[in-house]
Amino acid sequence: MTMRRWAYAIRSYIVLLLFSFATITLSAQTGKSTSKSKQTTTQKAPAKKTTTKRAPAKKATAKQAPAKKTTVKPKTTSGRSASASTSSPASQSKQSLEQQRKSLLNEIEQTSKLLNENKKSISAVQSRLTLVAKQIDDRKQVLTILGKEIDQTSSEIGTKEQVINELVQNLKLKKEHYAISVRKMHKQQNNGEQLLWILSADHLSQSYRRMLYLRNYAEWRKNQAEEIQVQQAQVTAEKQMLEIKKREKEGLAAIKRTEEAKLEQEEATKKTEAANLAKNAKKLEAQLKTKRQQADALNRKIEQIIAAEVAAAQKAAQAQPKTERKAATKGGFAMTKEEQTLSSNFANNKGRLPFPLKGSYRITEHFGVQQYENLKNVQHNSNGIKIETSKGNRAKAVFDGVVSGIFLVPGYQTSIILRHGNYLTLYANLEQVSVKKGDKVKTGQDLGSIYTDSATGETALYFELWKEQTKQNPEPWLNR
Q: CATH number, domain at 366?
A: 2.70.70.10
Looking at the structure, tell me whether residues 93 and 229 fall in a common domain.
Answer: yes
pTM of the model: 0.53
CA distances for 127 relative to 40, 51, 57, 288, angstroms:
70, 86, 94, 13
Indicate whether 471 and 434 sit together in one domain.
yes
pLDDT given for residue 188 in this prediction: 57
Indicate the range of 146-150, 345-349, 437-441 predicted with least confidence: 146-150
Q: Are residues 347 and 448 in the same domain?
A: yes
81 in the same domain as 15: yes
Q: Is residue 210 part of a domain?
A: yes
Task: Decide if 413 is inside a domain.
Answer: yes
In this predicted structure, what is the pLDDT of residue 193?
Answer: 64
Contact between 55 and 188 (Cβ < 8 Å):
yes
Inter-axis angle of helices 281-319 and 204-279, to 10 degrees? 100
Question: Could you read off the pLDDT of 175-228 as tens digits, one per residue?
Answer: 877 777 777 666 655 545 666 666 677 777 777 787 787 778 778 777 877 888
| Amino acid 10: pLDDT | 59
Where does a domain end: 247, 279, 311?
Answer: 279
Is residue 370 pLDDT above 50, yes or no?
Answer: yes
Of the three residues 233, 249, 279, the one that is the final residue of a domain is 279
Residue 226's CB is within 10 A of a number of other CB atoms, namely 14
Does residue 450 sit within a domain?
yes
Question: In this predicted model, which residue has the larger pLDDT, 181 or 54?
Answer: 181
338 is a domain residue: yes
Q: Select the highest-mean-pLDDT range: 146-155, 217-226, 415-424.
A: 415-424
* Same-domain status, 272 and 340: no
* Domain assignment present for 295: no
Quick check: 421 pLDDT over 80? yes
Is residue 294 assigned to a domain?
Answer: no
**292-326: pLDDT as tens digits:** 888 889 989 999 999 999 998 888 888 776 667 88
Q: 309 and 254 in one domain?
A: no
Q: Of 407, 391, 404, 400, nearest to 449 (Cα)?
A: 391
Give the pLDDT band (50/70/90) at residue 59.
very low
Short-list 416, 412, 381, CA closest to 402: 416
pLDDT bucket at 339, cuts 50 / 70 / 90: very high
- State pLDDT tens for residues 260-276: 888 888 888 777 777 77
Assess contact for 241 and 160: CB atoms under 8 A.
Answer: yes
The mean pLDDT of 346-356, rounded to a whole number, is: 96
The reply to whether 97 and 206 lie within a common domain is yes
38: CB partners within 8 A, 6+ apart: 225, 226, 228, 229
Which stretch, 102-116, 149-163, 281-295, 371-385, has highest mean pLDDT? 149-163
Claim to verify: residue 149 and residue 36 sit in the same structural domain:
yes
* Total number of domains constituting the chain: 2
What is the residue-averaged pLDDT of the chain?
A: 75
Within a domain: 286: no
pLDDT digits 0-9 by tens, 386-406: 999 989 999 999 999 999 999
**Same-domain status, 407 and 454:** yes
Whether 292 is covered by a domain: the verdict is no
CA 272 distance to own-chain centroid: 36
Give the distance from CA 475 to its chain's centroid.
26
- Residues 118, 224: one domain? yes
Residues 77 and 152 occupy one common structural domain? yes
Is residue 476 scored above 90 in pLDDT?
A: yes
Q: Which residues constitute the domain of residue 428?
A: 301-477
Last residue of a domain, one of 245, 279, 313: 279
316 & 398 share domain: yes
pLDDT at 360: 85
